């Protein structure tokens, strides 16, 4: 399945369903079982803006490092994935 997020930046996601399971009546919430990497910040300028952003925040000698760190406003690691946070947001999805 293909999914487009943020039509202005045109983030295109390909979602692959690897396995379907019979519904479990005990589970009434959506659940993330695995993932990788941080979500790109909103309004970072699409794929190319994101690549520029990662380069800037990852390199303290980059000319835009301070500006991008101030813009994001918090420590940010492009390789971070927080499954607990992903599942927190999935709790709002009604099945």
Q: What is the pLDDT of residues 68-95, one digit of tens each?
A: 999 999 988 999 999 998 888 888 776 5
Packed helices 46-58 and 65-72: angle between N→C axes, nearest 10 degrees: 110
Structure confidence at residue 55 (pLDDT):
96
pLDDT per position as a tens digit, 3-53: 787 767 778 878 787 877 787 787 767 778 888 898 888 888 888 899 999
pTM for the full predicted model: 0.68
User: What torsion do the CA atoms of 74, 76, 80, 83 make, to the nearest 10 degrees?
Assistant: 30
Tell me which residue has tokens 């919430």: 29
Contact between 52 and 37 (Cβ < 8 Å)? no
């Amino acid at each position: 399945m293909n999914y487009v997020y943020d039509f202005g930046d045109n983030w295109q996601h390909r979602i692959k369903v690897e396995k379907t399971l019979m519904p479990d009546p005990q589970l009434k919430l959506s659940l993330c079982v695995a993932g990788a990497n941080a979500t790109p910040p909103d309004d970072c300028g699409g794929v190319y803006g994101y690549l520029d952003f990662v380069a800037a925040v990852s390199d303290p000698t980059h000319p835009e490092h301070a500006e991008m760190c101030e813009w994001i406003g918090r420590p940010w690691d492009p390789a971070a994935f927080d499954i607990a946070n992903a599942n927190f947001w999935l709790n709002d999805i009604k099945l």
